[in-house]
Amino acid sequence: MVPRVAVIGGGPAGLMAAETLVAGGVQVDVYDRMPSLGRKFLLAGRGGLNLTHAEPSEQFNSRYGDRRREIEPLLAAFGPDDLRAWAEGLGVETFIGSSGRVFPREMKAAPLLRAWLHRLRQAAVRIHVRHRWLGWAGDALRFQGPDGESHVRADAVILALGGGSWSKFGSDGAWVPVLAGRGIPVAPLKPANCGFDVGWSDHFRARHAGEPLKSVALEWAGERRRGEFVITETGVEGSLVYAFSAALREAIEHTGAAEIHLDLMPDWELPRLIEEIAHPRGARSLSSHLQSRLGLKGVKTALLREVLDAGAFADPGRLAAAIKSLPLRLLAPRPLEEAISSAGGIAFNALDERLMLRALPGVFCAGEMLDWEAPTGGYLLTACFAEGRAAGRGALEWLAGRG
């Protein structure tokens, strides 16, 4: 009799597990609580789907921080180059952007997802939407579906339920108490790739919320990166902030705040700034002077006024030093619901090398529900695909060993 595997979760990790399983000759049923699959995947591709990154593997693997040891073997089996080849096998050509990020040629997630789901259906993968997983009833899986509660038996199970961010697109963390109740160690879910509260004045918030700060550098704990981010109603968010978010979140947890430093003019040296600021300005206002001599204007000038006292603007040396290293105190990460992704989840020591739960033989886990995190830039998706493939292969191996 052909084994039957239930894949719970229709995001990248779950669908990659389903594809791996069906290629191995088993019957696959995919269950998802949403009306359609891959909703968070589609949202991630709204501004151009960043599939992976083309940087060297040593640098790529370092992006997983404390979880590199666990993630690296999975990437060795299915890494960035494999992901690009897989996408092109679906008819989706990819290219490397100027930053090293890899995108589909069409810059959209929908064509890839449509082609993928078509291939899965052609391979006889059965898809069940609007089915929320409730846990177990004895040896059977419990689902709440359109017609009420149902019980499903499977020879193996892949859990790929996501983390806890963007719950309206499917990842609500409802699985945490279910697994914790079975004795599975689960680290609390926390916001990752998130924004932070600053506590702007009403004046600054009203005038500048939503404006980007471009061509700046951020420094924290001896690390410095260039990029851009956005001023929000409550603080800051965006790719440059996300690159530091894990360390900033941990610092705030331990000390109550984290102070970053911004270089508003990273291409200028401090002596040149001092010289230009000190140049006689005649009847011009200081704002006009800064714009004329430095090209500094808009939200950058407003941010200086938000942070500095009046005395700093009368001292060219102090003002120039602030432009090169403006302190900004971050008070709290934004809520998990708003984050791009989540940290925390199932502890890796609860899994064997096949990503099977040691306490629940035949139950495998993949994707963002595991305890790891990574910055944006293609690292999140790449690891989710790699974990889905590993869980699928692990389930096939376990089923074969069971006879």
Compute φ and ψ for 249, nearest 5 degrees: -60, -45
pLDDT at 403 over 70: no
Scored b (16 or more CB within 10 A) or e, 218-229 reads bebeeeeeebeb
Say which residue, 185 or 170, is predicted with more confidence: 185
Compute φ and ψ for 101, nearest 5 degrees: -75, 150
pLDDT digits (tens, 9 = 90+) for 67-81: 999 999 999 999 999
CA atoms within 13 A on the CB side of 359: 12
Strands 258-263 and 212-220: antiparallel
Question: Is the distance from CB of 198 to CB of 329 less than 8 angstroms?
Answer: yes
Joined together, the tokens standing for residue 246 give 């894990």
Compute φ and ψ for 151, nearest 5 degrees: -115, 130
pLDDT at 47: 74
pLDDT at 7: 98
Amino acid at 107: M
Q: What is the pTM of this model?
A: 0.92
* CATH no. of 4-191+341-402: 3.50.50.60
The number of beta carbons lying within 10 Å of the beta carbon of residue 248 is 23
% residues pLDDT > 90 (the chain): 93
% residues pLDDT > 70 (the chain): 100
What is the mean pLDDT of the segment spanning 40-69? 92
Residue range(s) in the chain whose domain bears CATH number 3.50.50.60: 4-191+341-402
pLDDT digits (tens, 9 = 90+) for 106-153: 999 999 999 999 999 999 999 999 999 999 999 999 999 999 999 999
Per-residue confidence band for 169, with pLDDT thresholds at 50, 70 and 90: confident
Mean pLDDT of the chain: 95
Say which residue, 43 or 25, is predicted with more confidence: 25
pLDDT digits (tens, 9 = 90+) for 192-220: 999 999 999 999 999 999 999 999 999 99
Residue 56 burial (10 A CB sphere; 0-12, 13-18, 19+):
exposed
